[in-house]
Amino acid sequence: MRASQRLGICGLCLFLLAIPDRGSPDLESTARAAEQAGPSLHVNGARLRQTLEKLSEFGRPAGATFADGVTRLGFSEEDLAAREYVMGLMRAAGLDVRVDPAGNIFGRRAGTEDLPVLLFGSHIDSVPNGGNFDGDVGSLGAIEVIRAMNEHGVRTRHPLEVVIWTNEEGHHFGKGLFGSSAAAGLLSPDVLERRDEQGLSIADWLHRYGQDPARFLEARLPPNYFVAYLELHIEQGGILDREKIPIGVVEGIVGIHWYTCQAHGFANHAGTTPMDQRRDALAAAAKAVLAVREEVRREPGRQVGTVGYMKVEPGARNIIPARVEFPVELRDLDAAKIERIWERIQQRFQQIEREESVRISCTLLSSDRPALTDPAIRQAIRQAADSAGLRFLDLPSGAGHDAQQMARLGPVGMIFIPSRGGISHSPQEFSDWEDIARGAEVLYRTILLLDRNPPPR
Ligand code: HGY
Ligand code: MN
Ligand code: MN
């Protein structure tokens, strides 16, 4: 990890109080006031925490507590209810709220000039049995920034838009970054026919989200829609926590390939079929899992590969498994490396087919390109952290984010805060409330800096 760690002025302590600015109307002095505010926060950490704790109730298991995490899948009743709560927060903050044909929620705050927007936000859907911070911190942190600007009488040149992306995790329907992909014009309408375990299609869910699937392609944002896209997010890894550094300046976001594979064997009697006459789909799939891990480890670097589940049929202890479905997920900052590793994995699968007399077939479910963040936005984030007296560290993102789809449309930046123990996609996912407030403060200050000096096109 290139630790371009630069120490900012180390603030002695942070005040979790909104320091009332005397409402200076002009932009220059407002932004400068923010920069010169030192470690005091403009955002209200206690208020932000309260909204995050309320959001965590949508999809919390019955009888559970905050610490038990959440299941709030994109395109689910829990997500639908949570969206109403979040849109209520946006309206209460004075934002003009609209929902696009892919279900993405936008909340607009007028600027003083007719300019492209400064866009910032994240997602509120979760993985199954996930945590209460992934996506939520950036989504509700963005709304807290708007409230803080209202309280401080801040006007910006650029219109500001908070965005809540639909179905970022993609657990439903196997298309991650769904809403931001639609906004980037990367999805064709045939994706709407994908069905979930209840037999409902994405089109059915879009109707439930108040949208007309026939207008799906209108979700694509026009060219030059934003001058910069920013996303505050938990790191989901352990670097910042281990280094005890509160702010991460994201260098780039990994590409992610999702494949779905099937091992096709032959069901037969477990007692009467000799061991050398079996076509055992599960034994073949087990070899395939280890082959994925070996091929990912075969070359140096940060690449990762995962087989997250197996579905075995018919699934009885006295029948030789006939069919096994398993996913393969590959990630790296280098798309060519992902392809190279996948080639090697497929060769290993062909060898397993010969050894086990089992056919293995795989289809590409989705692939999202890696994305580098914008240097000028990275510098603005460093400057914002510095002005708040916060140390920062440049680092890559091993997690995928909506920002990587927005990078197709314009300059993006991401601000990370530490994840305790590097744990995420788990009920044990946790970030300190002070770190969350600090992250929102850096988002606040970065927006003001970019408003005055937007990144070059
Ligand atoms: O899977 C990911 O990297 C992200 O959390 N959706
Ligand atoms: Mn996320
Ligand atoms: Mn996630």
- Domain holding 103: CATH number? 3.40.630.10
- Tens digit of pLDDT for each residue in 419-452? 999 999 999 999 999 999 999 999 999 999 999 9
Same domain for 198 and 183, yes or no, is yes
Please determine, for residue 228, whether its predicted confidence score (pLDDT) is greater than 80.
yes
Residue 177 contacts residue 368 (beta carbons within 8 Å): yes
Q: Atom 4 of ligand 1 has which residue's CA nearest to it?
A: 400
* Domain boundary, last residue among 368, 388, 417: 368
Same domain for 346 and 384, yes or no, is no
Q: Cα–Cα distance between 147 and 132 in angstroms, integer?
A: 21
Same domain for 250 and 262, yes or no, is no
Say how many domains are in the chain.
Answer: 3
Percentage of the chain with pLDDT > 70?
93
Per-residue pLDDT band at 39 (split at 50, 70, 90)? confident
CA of 374 to the centre of ligand 3 (A): 22
Its domain, for residue 336, covers: 255-368
Q: Which ligand is nearest to the CA of 177?
A: 1
Atom of ligand 1 nearest to the CA of 134: 5
Same domain for 159 and 189, yes or no, is yes
DSSP E strand stretches across 113-222:
117-123, 160-165
CA of 370 to the centre of ligand 3 (A): 16
Q: How far is residue 301 CA from its own chain's centroid? A: 22
Q: Which ligand is nearest to the CA of 135?
A: 2
Backbone dihedral angles phi then psi of residue 228, each to the nearest 5 degrees: -160, 145
- Tens digit of pLDDT for each residue in 307-358? 999 999 999 999 999 999 999 999 999 999 999 999 999 999 999 999 999 9
User: 431: helix, coil or strand?
Assistant: coil
Q: Which ligand is nearest to the CA of 253?
A: 1
Best probe residue, ligand 1, of 126, 177, 369, 425 (max atoms within 8 Å of C-beta): 425
Residue 448: how many CB atoms within 10 A of its CB? Answer: 24
- Domain holding 274: CATH number? 3.30.70.360
Same domain for 199 and 183, yes or no, is yes
Q: Atom 6 of ligand 1 has which residue's CA nearest to it?
A: 169
Q: Is residue 216 part of a domain?
A: yes
Same domain for 56 and 125, yes or no, is yes
Q: What is the rounded average pLDDT of the residues 103-117?
A: 98
Q: What secondary structure, in 3-state letters, does 288-330 show?
A: HHHHHHHHHHCCCCCCEEECCCCEEECCCCCECCCEEEEEEEE
Same domain for 98 and 207, yes or no, is yes
Entry pTM: 0.89
CA of 177 to the centre of ligand 1 (A): 9
Q: Is residue 403 part of a domain?
A: yes
Same domain for 431 and 289, yes or no, is no
Same domain for 237 and 386, yes or no, is yes
* Domain boundary, last residue among 368, 393, 418: 368
| Average pLDDT of the chain to the nearest whole number | 93
Q: Which ligand is nearest to the CA of 123?
A: 2
CA of 135 to the centre of ligand 2 (A): 4
Atom of ligand 1 nearest to the CA of 399: 3
CA of 425 to the centre of ligand 3 (A): 6
Task: Give the residue, 31 or 223, on which the prediction is more confident.
Answer: 223
Same domain for 404 and 335, yes or no, is no
Q: Cα–Cα distance between 55 and 4 in angstroms, integer?
A: 35
What lines the ligand 1 site, CB under 6 Å? 134, 168-169, 176, 399-400
Q: Is residue 457 part of a domain?
A: no
Q: Among all chains, which residue has been given the structure tokens 């801040």?
A: 154
Q: What is the rounded average pLDDT of the residues 245-256?
A: 97
State the DSSP H helix or E strand holding residue 263, giving kind and residue range, or none if neither: strand 255-264
Same domain for 349 and 385, yes or no, is no
Same domain for 271 and 205, yes or no, is no
In the prediction, which pLDDT does 18 show? 41
